Amino acid sequence: MAGPDSPSSPYLVLARKYRPRDFTTLVGQDAMVQTLGNAFAQNRIHHAFILTGVRGVGKTTTARILARAFNYEDASGPHPTLDLSVEGEHCRAIIEGRHVDVIEMDAASNTGINDIREIIDSVKYAPSSAPYKVYVIDEVHMLSTAAFNGLLKTLEEPPPYVKFIFATTEIRKVPVTILSRCMRFDLRRITPEIMSAYLESILGQEGISFEPEALAMIVRAGEGSARDNLSLLDQAIAHGNGTVTAATVKAMLGLGDRARIIDLFEELMGGRIGDAITTMRSLYDMGADPQTLVADLADFTHLVTRIKVVPAAADDVSLTPDERKRGADLAGRLPMRALTRAWQILFKGHEEVARANNGLQAAEMVLIRLAYAADLPSPDDLIAKLSNQPAPAPMPQQSAPIGRGPSGGPSAMRLEAPQPISTEAVATQPSVPQAQVQPAMATVASYKELIALATAKRDVLVRLALEGQMRPISFEQGRIEVALSEGTDPAIIATLSARLQLWTGQRWLVMVSTKPPEGLTIRQEKEQKVEAAHAAAHEDPLVKAILETFPGAKVVNVTVRDDATTAQPDVPPPPPEEDDE
């Protein structure tokens, strides 16, 4: 029989060949390994575990390693341990998936109560040879409601020789009654740093040369999944005829050259649409997919925005040198407004390219839209231009634009000046003991000041009543006469009187007029003012010019000066608070 390394032996993919067999070789799950190590050391081993995480992070692998740990047996006898450096009596059979006491079930194809009933019946019998009978149920969220309910009693009080290990990618679909009976472990995505080192070690063991940039592309495409990364690495080795190069990985993944993508981004943000279309055609001729190109532009836009907000993001090991250096440079030169607008256009454009019959044409239209949007004026510049006023002067430290937009205006590529920080001398006030501060009372001289006082006191009930349910008849110090709208609760009068006494320190007589209510409430007056303001806004020459410049635009909101809220009552400031320090 041919040996495992014989040329006649079937090839074993990297994801299976380098599948971890103990916790020392499990990648990127240190927190879980530490927790399990403490539990085993203290002999506090739970009878049920649930492992959750995205695809390929090691859920099933962890379950098999746990089955080995439960059933570890050597010359000294059976004893659960995480130290699996030396194979025990049952380890080989468990690793190869043929141990009679370790039962693996795929819940995706065994979803019903009858499948679970077989487990319930079999747990009554002790293990054949191993210390524990271990049930591993993969994709447990696929079980039916009846199957979950049938499992509850056995899962809560299993025999002492039974262990359950569940694995799922959809933890939210697992009933809380099941989760409460299990020790839960969330397996995390493997970070790019750890994944890069892991792939390098595997390539070293295989004796295969590689380029760091190619490895970074694979790590980015693998999205933190060990299995996906190893599958992509397998494919890259085959595609590159035994070596892993950036060129072959780009061709394999349908990626454009990252440096050319950055060139394309700079051309678009600089408004150089002719150069951008030429670059796009060149990348397309080299085999790049139009939809992938738009996605790459969106990814790079996100990267630049992220670096602008979190400069340390430029240190990510999965980034290429061009992305790291030029991304940081662009983050310092582009304003946030231009980046967020570019992201919105590319995000929507990606869907358009996916639906289009001709992806290249759709992608070019997205680029044209982005290039022309890059030099759109800000709202302040637009208003100043339409009203024939000089545009707001740039801040002293702001540099001139580095390019011209397709319409001849300045491009979005301009340096953002740091905001000036003003320092003011603040006089230090002596702290006053809170017990010595007496709360001062407010004074109210008009009905509108009363509404403002209710607003300042955050009394929503009284303010709504004053604005929408009452009409003032007369107002003088200590006495108010109002007319109530139809359907108003009369108890609001007593509430208003009590609030006034609390706020002003004096008794107020609040009377209800016997005359039928006439005129408008404060709220109705406001609504009339808003309607009149909208009508006046549409007649304003500047607004008309803006609406004609941007077809389809409309006036959404008009701010009206509110006399009721601007008339501030004489409310004393709150007493100073004591410093806890």
194-207 per-position pLDDT tens digit: 999 999 999 999 89
Q: Among 51-55, 344-348, 372-376, 533-537, which stretch is predicted with the lowest mean pLDDT?
A: 372-376
Read off φ and ψ for residue 424, nearest 5 degrees.
Answer: -125, 140
Q: Among 14-28, 58-72, 318-332, which stretch is predicted with the lowest mean pLDDT?
A: 318-332
**Residue-wise burial string across 383-402, b where 16 or more C-beta atoms lie within 10 A, e elsewhere:** beebeeeeeeeeeeeeeebe
Bridging pattern class, strands 48-52 and 77-78: unpaired
Identify the band that residue 567 occupies on the pLDDT scale cut at 50, 70 and 90.
Answer: very low
| pLDDT tens-digit map of 36-69 | 988 888 888 899 999 998 888 889 899 999 999 9
Please provide the average confidence, as pLDDT, over all residues in the chain: 81
Q: Residue 389's Cα: distance from chain center in Å? A: 42
Q: Which domains does the chain have, with CATH numbers?
A: 14-186 (3.40.50.300), 192-253 (1.10.8.60), 258-386 (1.20.272.10), 440-571 (no CATH)
Q: What is the SS3 assignment for 13?
A: coil
- Which comes out higher in pLDDT, residue 518 or 399? 518
* 138: pLDDT strictly greater than 60: yes
Please report the pLDDT score of residue 561 as a whole number: 61
Most confident of 77-86, 342-351, 418-427, 547-556: 342-351
* 113: pLDDT strictly greater than 60: yes
The residues, any chain, with a CB within 8 Å of residue 352's CB and separated by 6 or more, are 362, 365, 366
Read off φ and ψ for residue 184, nearest 5 degrees.
Answer: -100, 140
